[in-house]
Every structure is written in C-alpha cells, then in structure tokens.
Amino acid sequence: MKVTFTLLIFLFAALTLNAENGHDLWLRAKHTAPVNVVCSGKSPTLEIAKQELHQGWQGKANATFVLKKKHDKLIKGDGYRLSPDGIEANTDLGLLYGVYDLLRRQQTGEPITEQVENPSYERRILDHWDNLDGTIERGYAGRSIFWHGKDSLAVTEKDKKLWQEYARADASIGINGAVLDNVNASPLVLTTEYLKRVQAIAEVLRPYGIKTYLSVNFASPSVIGGLKTSDPLDPQVKEWWKNKAKEIYKLIPDFGGFLVKANSEGQPGPQNFGRTHADGANTIADAVKPYGGIVMWRAFVYSANDEDRAKQAYNEFMPLDGKFHDNVIIQVKNGPVDFQPREPFSPLFGAMKKTPVMPELQVTQEYLGQAVHLVFLAPMWEEFLKSDTYQEGKGSTVARCTDGSIFQQTHTAIAGVANVGLDTNWCGHPFAQANWYAFGRLAWNNQLSSDQIADEWVKLTFKPTPAEDRTHSTVLPIVWNINFLKPVKRMMLESREAAVNYMMPLGLHHIFAPENHYGPGPWWAPKGVRKDWTPPYYHQADTLGIGFDRTENGSNAVSQYHEPLRSLFNDVNTCPEIYLLWFHHLPWNYQTQSGLTLWDDLCYHYQEGLDQVRSFQKTWDKAKPYVDKERFSVVQKKLRKQCINAQVWKDACLLYFQQFSRMPIPYNIERPVHNLKDLIENDMKRKR
Ligand code: GCV
C-alpha cells in the first residue's frame, strides 16, 4: 500500500514539473508571499536588495523586514548581521548579501537565527579566460558572454541583460570581482575602444558589487604604446603604465586592478629584460596604487630547465619574499603542477611570510571531464583549503594562510577560473553550475563543508518551486528528501573521487592526452617537446615500477614543505596513499595498505571509478520522477558519455601500464573492452 502511494506521488510529480532549461541557475524561486520592506537608504544596490526580497520572500505573508545600515565593529567589510526580522550591515552591498543569504535560508529550510556573517576573503574573483574574439580558453559552455570580436564592440541590450543576470548570480553567492579576459592576454584590451566596452560591462556589474579587473599583457607598452621596450625599470615604461591606469580609472573609478601571467607558456614578462617578477609586478602595481587597485601576479611559471615541474614556482618566488609592493598578491594554483584531479597543495601556500598569496582554483573542468563529466569540485577545494601547511605550527591550514588569519595582510583574495559561457544553462553541464556555486560559497566562507554546499545547491536547483507545489501539491518534502536530495547529494560528493579513480588514482597525475586534456594519453611523448609537458615525465613507469620520486633521494620536492609534512611525505610508510605515486617511485609488487600489490591496487581503483560512474547512472535514472524532462535527459546523456569515457580511461591506463608491470589484471576485475593500439590511434579528442 505504502509503495503504491509513493509510486503515485512519483508519477504525479513527473507529470507536473515545469520544463527548465537551467538558465535560472540556483535562483529559480519566483512566486512568493508579500512582504513589507523597510529601508530608508537609496542606491542602485539597495533597490536590487528590495526587489529581491519582494520577488523571493518565502517567510510569513505580510511580515515586515528591515534593512538597516549601521556601524558595527563585529561586521567586517561587506559582512552583515542577519536576524529573522531584518539585516544590518556597514555597506549597501552587505545588505544585499544579507538578503541573498536570507532568501537562500528560506528556500532551503536552514535556520534564520541572529548571527554575523563576514567574508573569509576581501576579494572573491572569477577569472574569465575569455579571448577578445569571443572564444574561451578551456571554456566548454559556448562563447564568451563579454566579447564577440573586434567588429562587435558596440554594446547591445542583449549583452546588458546577460551581464546583469551574470552579476546577479555572482552576487547571490558573494562573488565581488570578475577578470574579463584571458590570462594569455591580448595587448588590445588596453586600447581605448576595448576599454569603452569594459566600462559598459562595469556599469552593469557595479550595482551588484562586482568590480572589474583585466588580464594584461606584459609587453603592452611596446606593442600598443609604441615604446621601444617594455622593461619594467625603464622610466618611460613606468610612465606608460601610470597613464594607462589614469585612463582606466577615469572610465571605471572602481576598477579592481590587473591580473598578470608573465614568463609562462610563451607570455612575455620581466625576465625578457633581465628583471625579476618583483620588478615587473611592482611597476604595474605602482600605477594602480593611487586608485586603490591591486595586481594579482601569477606564480604559474616554468623554469628554463625541466627540473621537477612541481618545484619550479616555489624556487622562483621564495627568494622574492618581501620584495613585492603591498598591493601585489601572488596568485597560486591549488596544486604545484596544474589543476590535476588530485594534487597535494602547492608548497607556496604557507611559505612566504612577507608576501600575500591567493589561491587560484579552476571552476572550469579542464582536467576533470570538461562539460561532459559530472564532477562536483567542492570536495577537492575543501581538501585543499583544510590542508595543514604547518607554516606557524599545527592548524596553519591553507585557508588560514591565505585569509589573513595568520599574518596581517593588506589584501586577501581568492580566484576561480570561470566555467561560464553563452550556453543557455551557462555552464554546459547542469551539474557544472554547482561548481560555480561552490566556488562563490567557499570564497565567502572557506570553512563550509562540501556536504552543506551540495545540500543547498540541490535544493535551490531542483526542489519544486512554491508555484509548482501550490498548483499541483506534488511531492511531500520528506519523500523528496529521501528519494532525490539524499542520493543526488551522495552522487555529487562521491563524484570527484570517482574521477580520480578512473583517471589517475594513488597520486598519478598529468597523464592526459595532449592539448585538449580530456582523455588518457600516458604514452604521449614526441621528440622535441618539453619533457615536463609529456605524461611519461610524470608517471615514470618502467619495468621496475611507477611514480615520481620527489623524496630526498629523488627531486627533493618534499623539502619545500614544512615539517612534519616533509618527513611524512618523504617516508613511503607515512605518505598518504592518495599521494603515493606523486612522491614515490615504487616497484609494481610494492604492498599497499590494502595488502594488495601496487599493480593490483591500481587495477581495483580504475575498476572502482568505472563502477562509481555506473552507479551514478542508476542514481540519476531513479531520480527521474523528480526532475523536469529537459534537465533529466541532458544529465542522463552526459552520464552515458562519462561512463564510456571512464571505460576508456581504465582500459587505456591499465593496458598501457601493463606493458611495464607485466602482471595480469586481477581476474575478478572486468576485462578491458578496448585494444591499446586502437586507443592510441583513435585519440579521444577525435572520438568526442
Ligand atoms: C590560460 C594550463 C592550461 C592553459 C592555461 C594555463 C594557465 O596550462 O592548459 O590553457 O592558459 O594552464 O593557467 O596559464
């Protein structure tokens, strides 16, 4: 009887859910109860705050809710004090953030008690790797929302509407900055015609508290400024940057500053002129300093030789500690190599004591299945932020080393490489929206758990809206929680580990096919290519074993970490197994903690990854009655592809490594269904 009743509810729900194309993201709630908003102030930001309350209120009908600006020492920056009857903040933006928090709590059922919420970082920024021609480097959700090419610099109403929707989504999760162009920057962005478009974007983003920033090309003074050099110590070059800053701030008074990728992957930088990264960063920083601007200087650099890639950034930047001016922040990718499915944290976190460092996370899933695989990244970022660097003893987590808790810093910041494009659903994959959401939430509060973020996002994104509930009295909340929320959340929380399992378990890294970084390519090593761009450099597989020896006997990358981590990573018996082959080269018959040989353990991990994706397919198929047809079918199709890809990963890696291990694949593991030769020939790039 109970089963039949539940079944009826399923069927009814499936028939009545409105079709959704995903464009509304986590901001779907529209039909609500009336509320009386009391707010004496006036500003574009406050207008938005009031409108959001009227549009999204789900509290008691006709209640009175007060928005009040009030100086309170406990409230920092754009933080706020929330209570059931109102919000207090030092700034208009604080009130807007409070409103979004309140509405989120009303929709998700989280308690609304009296509490102060302050942001972990002063600057919470999305880096758009958008090229001026409208393409996006590592973008998987269509073309740029900001740029359409040189012939389309005029701003249309359509552009403005989209930028406003984008700004609203950002503000609703606390993001307050956007770098509008690719770090592989075109000098043209600093020419007047492009700056005019930046000005127009800034005007739309401003009421939502989003500052605009630009990535700049270090050679701009010579390329567009007509100077003979871009040497940062040349007086004319310094003057050029100062004049450029003046021009920008005249157009955009609240401009945030510059992001610079220098001397990396072919980008020009101070080293072209025999100068240091500090010389380069300081010249540009001095130019924006009078206006309160900052320079985010990337530590993603390469050394001239192919000495362990994981050591290069630290080696380059540590000697410069204390040499940067106080409006420079060094932007460091979470891991020492490059946004891999799993890396230990970069040793540059918790290293410098006189130079602020900001984390750079990658929201766009360059190395994690792009817009095809369902991979929720919050667990990866949580693992990273909670990693203990031991900089000032136990408890010096990456979060605390970067948010100003350990050292007083003039500026604190965090950046995420955006996954946003012109696709109707913004991110390509409906579940990729969760990564945009998670980045914003963690940038606001770096202590949040992945579980809580997933919980919020699933409720906001999939829960029947009040309108659907009222019209159709569809799913009982408890039924929805058990049959949808719980399993879908579990799937999300498991998804990152699944990707690690089917792509590169036990500390393997960077064994991707070249260029597109999507499928496996552990074999790829053409002559003439920098060794540290090829997978065999990273996995080091031979008949004796596999893994990169970064111990004292190897590259000694372990020495870049503080004790006790250094010794922990150095000793194979204490090194966490998730990083085993990152730090150690081990024989194939090495016995892992599971009691298995390394080879067998590797095989089981790949199989487990594949099995996990299969279980995600089942979870999603079972969730069908609770999702509108449109989003259900998009995700179902993508999961099928993910499963096919996971199979390819498993077969490719096991068959390739088996050539070295010369050991059988354990017999209770499914046999490969591909031939290695075919896989190598039909690179997954062409199969996608
Ligand atoms: C923007 C990796 C990516 C590049 C990216 C680079 C970077 O190498 O593959 O596309 O370039 O990182 O972060 O600068």
Per-residue confidence at 471, pLDDT binned at 50, 70, 90?
A: low
Lowest mean pLDDT among 30-34, 149-153, 453-457: 30-34
* pLDDT tens profile 574-591: 999 999 999 999 999 999
pLDDT level of residue 9 (50, 70, 90 thresholds): very low
Q: What is the pLDDT of residue 18?
A: 79
Q: Whose CA is nearest to atom 12 of ligand 1?
A: 338
10 Å Cβ neighbour count for 529? Answer: 12
User: So which residues are the catalytic ones?
Assistant: 265, 338, 366
Q: Which of 63-77, 272-286, 305-319 has the lowest average pLDDT?
A: 305-319
Residue 58 class from Cβ within 10 Å (0-12 exposed, 13-18 middle, 19+ buried)?
middle
| Tokens of residue 299, six digits | 């530590």
pLDDT at 3: 44
- Output the pLDDT for position 465: 75
pLDDT at 30 (0 to 100) = 73
Counting residues of the chain whose pLDDT is more than 70, the rounded percentage is 95
The CA 337 to ligand 1 mean position distance, Å, reads 11
Is the peptide bond preceding residue 464 cis, with omega within 30 degrees of 0?
no
Return the pLDDT at 664. Answer: 98
In this predicted structure, the answer to whether residue 683 has a pLDDT above a threshold of 80 is no
User: Around Cβ 181, how many Cβ atoms within 10 Å?
Assistant: 26
Please count the other Cβ atoms lying within 10 Å of the Cβ belonging to residue 567: 13
Cα(330)–Cα(270) distance, integer angstroms: 15
pLDDT score for 272: 96
CA of residue 619 relative to chain centroid, distance: 25
341-359 pLDDT per residue, tens? 999 999 999 999 999 999 9
Q: How would residue 685 be classed by pLDDT, with cut points 50, 70 and 90?
A: low
> Ligand 1: distance of its center to the CA of 244 in Å?
27
- Ligand 1 atom closest to the Cα of residue 417 is 13
Average pLDDT over residues 133-138: 98
Decide if 621 contacts 490 (C-beta within 8 A). no
Residue having the nearest C-alpha atom to atom 13 of ligand 1: 300
- Position 15 scores a pLDDT of 44
Taking the CA of residue 261 as reference, the ligand 1 atom at the shortest distance is 14
Query: Minimum mean pLDDT among 273-277, 304-308, 595-599: which range?
Result: 304-308
Mean pLDDT of 163-171: 98
pTM of the full predicted structure?
Answer: 0.96
Query: What pLDDT score does 99 carry?
Result: 98
Extended strands (E) in 354-395: 357-362
Tell me, in angstroms, the distance from the centre of ligand 1 to residue 85's CA: 47
In the sheet that holds 86-89, the strands lie side by side as 35-38, 63-69, 86-89, 80-83, 115-117
338 Cα to the center of ligand 1, angstroms:
8
Q: At what angle do helices 235-251 and 277-288 cross, to 10 degrees?
A: 40
Whether the CB-CB separation of 297 and 281 falls below 8 Å is answered with yes
Q: In this model, does residue 13 exceed pLDDT 50?
A: no
Closest CA to 216 of 163, 253, 179: 179
Report pLDDT digits (tens) over 432-470. 999 999 999 999 999 999 999 999 999 999 998 766 665
Q: Is the CB of 137 under 6 A from ligand 1?
A: yes
Report the Cα 383 to chain-centroid distance in Å.
Answer: 13
